[in-house]
Protein backbone atom coordinates (compact mmCIF):
# COMPACT_ATOMS: atom_id res chain seq x y z
CA UNK A 1 0.00 0.00 0.00
CA UNK A 2 1.44 3.41 -1.01
CA UNK A 3 1.63 5.91 1.83
CA UNK A 4 3.54 9.01 2.86
CA UNK A 5 4.10 10.09 6.45
CA UNK A 6 3.39 13.74 7.30
CA UNK A 7 5.35 15.90 9.75
CA UNK A 8 2.93 14.98 12.56
CA UNK A 9 3.33 11.25 11.91
CA UNK A 10 0.06 10.71 10.05
CA UNK A 11 0.12 8.07 7.32
CA UNK A 12 -1.64 9.25 4.15
CA UNK A 13 -2.62 6.63 1.59
CA UNK A 14 -2.45 7.63 -2.06
CA UNK A 15 -2.89 6.24 -5.59
CA UNK A 16 -0.51 7.24 -8.38
CA UNK A 17 -1.57 5.99 -11.80
CA UNK A 18 -0.32 6.66 -15.33
CA UNK A 19 2.23 8.94 -16.92
CA UNK A 20 2.07 12.47 -18.28
CA UNK A 21 0.98 15.86 -16.92
CA UNK A 22 -0.13 15.51 -13.29
CA UNK A 23 -3.70 15.82 -12.01
CA UNK A 24 -4.49 15.51 -8.30
CA UNK A 25 -7.90 14.69 -6.82
CA UNK A 26 -9.27 15.65 -3.39
CA UNK A 27 -12.41 13.75 -2.43
CA UNK A 28 -15.66 14.73 -0.77
CA UNK A 29 -16.80 13.96 2.78
CA UNK A 30 -16.94 11.26 4.11
CA UNK A 31 -15.61 9.30 1.14
CA UNK A 32 -12.14 8.26 -0.02
CA UNK A 33 -9.99 8.50 -3.12
CA UNK A 34 -12.00 5.61 -4.60
CA UNK A 35 -14.75 8.14 -5.33
CA UNK A 36 -12.51 9.49 -8.12
CA UNK A 37 -11.89 6.19 -9.94
CA UNK A 38 -14.23 7.12 -12.80
CA UNK A 39 -12.24 10.29 -13.50
CA UNK A 40 -8.81 8.79 -12.83
CA UNK A 41 -9.14 5.85 -15.21
CA UNK A 42 -10.54 8.16 -17.90
CA UNK A 43 -7.61 10.58 -17.64
CA UNK A 44 -5.00 7.79 -17.56
CA UNK A 45 -6.49 6.57 -20.83
CA UNK A 46 -5.94 10.06 -22.24
CA UNK A 47 -2.28 10.36 -21.24
CA UNK A 48 -2.28 11.86 -17.76
CA UNK A 49 -0.70 10.97 -14.43
CA UNK A 50 -3.40 10.98 -11.76
CA UNK A 51 -2.84 11.12 -8.01
CA UNK A 52 -5.49 10.88 -5.30
CA UNK A 53 -5.10 10.47 -1.55
CA UNK A 54 -7.40 9.48 1.28
CA UNK A 55 -7.89 12.45 3.60
CA UNK A 56 -6.63 11.88 7.14
CA UNK A 57 -9.25 9.92 9.04
CA UNK A 58 -10.81 8.64 5.82
CA UNK A 59 -10.36 5.49 3.74
CA UNK A 60 -6.97 3.87 4.30
CA UNK A 61 -5.22 6.86 5.97
CA UNK A 62 -4.55 7.13 9.71
CA UNK A 63 -7.52 7.95 11.93
CA UNK A 64 -5.66 10.70 13.71
CA UNK A 65 -7.23 12.71 16.52
CA UNK A 66 -5.50 15.93 15.47
CA UNK A 67 -5.65 18.43 12.63
CA UNK A 68 -9.01 17.31 11.32
CA UNK A 69 -9.48 20.78 9.88
CA UNK A 70 -8.88 22.54 6.58
CA UNK A 71 -5.35 23.61 7.45
CA UNK A 72 -4.49 20.01 8.26
CA UNK A 73 -6.16 18.73 5.09
CA UNK A 74 -4.36 21.30 2.92
CA UNK A 75 -1.00 20.52 4.50
CA UNK A 76 -1.54 16.81 3.84
CA UNK A 77 -2.26 17.55 0.17
CA UNK A 78 0.93 19.60 0.09
CA UNK A 79 2.84 16.70 1.64
CA UNK A 80 1.63 14.35 -1.10
CA UNK A 81 2.46 16.85 -3.87
CA UNK A 82 5.93 17.48 -2.47
CA UNK A 83 6.69 13.80 -1.77
CA UNK A 84 5.85 12.90 -5.38
CA UNK A 85 7.50 16.12 -6.63
CA UNK A 86 4.47 17.04 -8.74
CA UNK A 87 4.87 20.17 -10.86
CA UNK A 88 2.44 22.10 -13.06
CA UNK A 89 -0.34 19.98 -11.62
CA UNK A 90 -4.05 20.48 -12.07
CA UNK A 91 -5.75 20.30 -8.65
CA UNK A 92 -9.29 18.93 -8.69
CA UNK A 93 -11.52 18.95 -5.62
CA UNK A 94 -15.08 17.78 -5.00
CA UNK A 95 -17.19 19.17 -2.14
CA UNK A 96 -14.97 19.15 0.98
CA UNK A 97 -12.10 18.39 -1.38
CA UNK A 98 -12.82 21.69 -3.12
CA UNK A 99 -12.24 23.39 0.20
CA UNK A 100 -9.03 21.44 0.55
CA UNK A 101 -7.82 22.71 -2.83
CA UNK A 102 -8.78 26.29 -1.96
CA UNK A 103 -6.99 26.18 1.39
CA UNK A 104 -3.95 24.54 -0.27
CA UNK A 105 -3.66 27.51 -2.64
CA UNK A 106 -4.26 29.91 0.25
CA UNK A 107 -1.51 28.34 2.39
CA UNK A 108 0.96 26.96 -0.16
CA UNK A 109 0.50 29.10 -3.26
CA UNK A 110 0.52 27.97 -6.88
CA UNK A 111 4.22 27.36 -7.56
CA UNK A 112 3.39 23.70 -8.31
CA UNK A 113 -0.09 24.35 -9.72
CA UNK A 114 -1.09 24.89 -13.35
CA UNK A 115 -4.88 24.88 -13.00
CA UNK A 116 -7.64 24.28 -10.46
CA UNK A 117 -11.09 22.68 -10.66
CA UNK A 118 -13.77 23.03 -7.99
CA UNK A 119 -16.67 20.56 -8.33
CA UNK A 120 -19.76 20.99 -6.12
CA UNK A 121 -17.30 22.58 -3.72
CA UNK A 122 -18.00 24.03 -0.27
CA UNK A 123 -16.29 27.47 -0.61
CA UNK A 124 -16.64 30.28 0.11
CA UNK A 125 -18.48 29.24 3.35
CA UNK A 126 -21.50 27.05 3.98
CA UNK A 127 -22.81 28.07 7.40
CA UNK A 128 -25.14 31.02 7.90
CA UNK A 129 -23.47 34.01 9.58
CA UNK A 130 -24.08 37.73 9.73
CA UNK A 131 -21.74 38.12 6.79
CA UNK A 132 -23.28 35.12 4.98
CA UNK A 133 -27.06 35.37 5.56
CA UNK A 134 -27.83 33.04 2.62
CA UNK A 135 -25.94 30.16 4.25
CA UNK A 136 -27.36 27.07 5.95
CA UNK A 137 -28.28 27.43 9.65
CA UNK A 138 -25.84 25.85 12.12
CA UNK A 139 -28.72 23.59 13.23
CA UNK A 140 -28.44 21.74 9.91
CA UNK A 141 -24.89 20.71 10.78
CA UNK A 142 -25.75 20.01 14.43
CA UNK A 143 -28.41 17.57 13.21
CA UNK A 144 -25.83 15.90 10.96
CA UNK A 145 -23.48 15.47 13.91
CA UNK A 146 -26.26 14.00 16.07
CA UNK A 147 -27.39 11.56 13.37
CA UNK A 148 -23.80 10.54 12.67
CA UNK A 149 -23.13 9.87 16.35
CA UNK A 150 -26.37 7.97 16.98
CA UNK A 151 -26.38 5.64 13.94
CA UNK A 152 -23.74 6.42 11.37
CA UNK A 153 -24.58 3.44 9.17
CA UNK A 154 -28.20 4.53 8.69
CA UNK A 155 -27.12 8.17 8.40
CA UNK A 156 -24.81 7.34 5.50
CA UNK A 157 -27.50 5.29 3.78
CA UNK A 158 -29.93 8.21 4.04
CA UNK A 159 -27.29 10.73 2.97
CA UNK A 160 -26.49 8.76 -0.18
CA UNK A 161 -30.03 9.31 -1.45
CA UNK A 162 -29.73 13.10 -1.25
CA UNK A 163 -26.11 13.05 -2.38
CA UNK A 164 -27.08 11.51 -5.73
CA UNK A 165 -30.56 13.00 -5.98
CA UNK A 166 -32.19 9.56 -5.84
CA UNK A 167 -35.19 11.15 -4.09
CA UNK A 168 -36.03 13.28 -7.14
CA UNK A 169 -38.80 12.28 -9.57
CA UNK A 170 -37.43 10.33 -12.51
CA UNK A 171 -34.03 9.78 -10.92
CA UNK A 172 -32.19 6.67 -12.08
CA UNK A 173 -29.48 5.90 -9.52
CA UNK A 174 -28.35 2.31 -9.24
CA UNK A 175 -28.32 0.49 -5.90
CA UNK A 176 -24.65 -0.13 -6.57
CA UNK A 177 -23.86 3.61 -6.51
CA UNK A 178 -25.74 4.01 -3.23
CA UNK A 179 -24.05 0.95 -1.72
CA UNK A 180 -20.54 2.09 -2.61
CA UNK A 181 -21.22 5.48 -1.01
CA UNK A 182 -22.13 3.65 2.22
CA UNK A 183 -19.08 1.38 1.98
CA UNK A 184 -16.63 4.24 1.46
CA UNK A 185 -18.26 6.32 4.18
CA UNK A 186 -18.08 3.52 6.75
CA UNK A 187 -14.30 3.40 6.24
CA UNK A 188 -13.95 6.87 7.75
CA UNK A 189 -13.29 7.23 11.46
CA UNK A 190 -16.26 8.41 13.51
CA UNK A 191 -14.18 11.07 15.25
CA UNK A 192 -12.70 12.22 11.95
CA UNK A 193 -16.02 12.38 10.12
CA UNK A 194 -17.60 14.17 13.08
CA UNK A 195 -14.89 16.83 13.28
CA UNK A 196 -14.84 17.23 9.51
CA UNK A 197 -18.40 18.57 9.57
CA UNK A 198 -17.11 21.71 11.28
CA UNK A 199 -14.22 21.91 8.82
CA UNK A 200 -16.36 21.84 5.69
CA UNK A 201 -19.23 23.95 7.00
CA UNK A 202 -17.61 26.68 9.10
CA UNK A 203 -14.29 27.35 7.34
CA UNK A 204 -14.26 30.70 5.57
CA UNK A 205 -12.42 30.45 2.24
CA UNK A 206 -12.81 34.04 1.03
CA UNK A 207 -9.12 34.88 1.54
CA UNK A 208 -8.06 31.62 -0.13
CA UNK A 209 -10.18 32.24 -3.23
CA UNK A 210 -8.68 35.71 -3.57
CA UNK A 211 -5.24 34.10 -3.94
CA UNK A 212 -6.19 31.99 -6.98
CA UNK A 213 -3.94 33.11 -9.85
CA UNK A 214 -4.26 30.09 -12.17
CA UNK A 215 -7.03 29.17 -14.65
CA UNK A 216 -9.93 27.78 -12.64
CA UNK A 217 -13.03 25.83 -13.60
CA UNK A 218 -16.09 25.77 -11.31
CA UNK A 219 -18.66 22.98 -11.88
CA UNK A 220 -21.87 22.52 -9.91
CA UNK A 221 -25.27 20.82 -10.17
CA UNK A 222 -28.20 23.20 -10.02
CA UNK A 223 -30.19 20.75 -7.84
CA UNK A 224 -27.44 20.11 -5.30
CA UNK A 225 -29.19 19.23 -2.01
CA UNK A 226 -25.95 19.04 0.00
CA UNK A 227 -24.07 22.21 -1.06
CA UNK A 228 -26.66 24.61 -2.52
CA UNK A 229 -25.33 26.19 -5.69
CA UNK A 230 -26.51 29.73 -4.97
CA UNK A 231 -24.39 29.98 -1.84
CA UNK A 232 -21.29 28.21 -3.14
CA UNK A 233 -20.27 27.95 -6.80
CA UNK A 234 -21.98 31.14 -7.92
CA UNK A 235 -20.24 33.14 -5.20
CA UNK A 236 -16.88 31.38 -5.66
CA UNK A 237 -16.88 32.03 -9.40
CA UNK A 238 -17.29 35.73 -8.68
CA UNK A 239 -14.46 35.71 -6.14
CA UNK A 240 -11.91 33.84 -8.31
CA UNK A 241 -10.41 36.10 -10.93
CA UNK A 242 -11.15 34.82 -14.41
CA UNK A 243 -12.92 31.65 -13.27
CA UNK A 244 -15.06 29.75 -15.76
CA UNK A 245 -18.27 28.39 -14.26
CA UNK A 246 -20.52 25.66 -15.64
CA UNK A 247 -23.82 24.57 -14.11
CA UNK A 248 -25.62 21.29 -14.80
CA UNK A 249 -29.42 21.75 -14.85
CA UNK A 250 -31.21 19.39 -12.45
CA UNK A 251 -27.95 17.73 -11.38
CA UNK A 252 -27.24 16.61 -7.78
CA UNK A 253 -24.21 16.88 -5.52
CA UNK A 254 -22.64 13.64 -6.71
CA UNK A 255 -22.15 14.69 -10.32
CA UNK A 256 -18.82 12.85 -10.57
CA UNK A 257 -20.93 9.67 -10.68
CA UNK A 258 -24.33 10.72 -12.02
CA UNK A 259 -22.86 12.83 -14.85
CA UNK A 260 -19.55 11.01 -15.19
CA UNK A 261 -19.23 11.11 -19.00
CA UNK A 262 -20.24 14.78 -19.27
CA UNK A 263 -18.00 15.80 -16.39
CA UNK A 264 -15.02 13.79 -17.66
CA UNK A 265 -15.29 15.45 -21.07
CA UNK A 266 -15.51 18.88 -19.41
CA UNK A 267 -12.50 18.11 -17.25
CA UNK A 268 -10.38 16.86 -20.14
CA UNK A 269 -11.21 19.86 -22.31
CA UNK A 270 -10.26 22.25 -19.52
CA UNK A 271 -6.97 20.50 -18.74
CA UNK A 272 -6.04 20.49 -22.42
CA UNK A 273 -7.00 24.13 -22.96
Q: Which candidate in 26, 61, 62, 95 is catalytic?
A: 95
Q: Which candidate in 27, 58, 253, 259 is catalytic?
A: 253
99 to each of 113, 157, 167, 254, how far by Cα in Å?
16, 24, 26, 16
Say if residues 50 and 40 touch (Cβ distance below 8 Å).
Answer: yes
Q: Is residue 224 annotated as a catalytic residue, yes or no? A: yes
Q: Is residue 208 annotated as a catalytic residue, yes or no? A: no
Say if residues 192 and 10 touch (Cβ distance below 8 Å).
Answer: no
Helices (H) and strands (E) in the chain, counts: 11, 8
Measure the CA angle with vertex 216, ends 259 and 40; round to 5°: 45
| Dist. CA 150–CA 188, nearest whole Å | 16
Closest CA to 101 of 229, 231, 273, 243: 243
Q: Is residue 174 annotated as a catalytic residue, yes or no? A: no
Q: Which candidate in 224, 231, 232, 236 is catalytic?
A: 224
What amino acid positions are annotated as catalytic residues? Answer: 95, 224, 253
Amino acid sequence: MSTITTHDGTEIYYKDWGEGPAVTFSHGWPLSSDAWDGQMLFLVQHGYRVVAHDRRGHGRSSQTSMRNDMDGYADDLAAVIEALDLKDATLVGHSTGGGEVARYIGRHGTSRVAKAVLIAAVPPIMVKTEANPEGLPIEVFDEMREALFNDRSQFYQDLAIQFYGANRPGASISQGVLDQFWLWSMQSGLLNAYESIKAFSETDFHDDLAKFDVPTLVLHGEDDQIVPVKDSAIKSARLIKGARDVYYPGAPHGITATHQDQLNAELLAFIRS
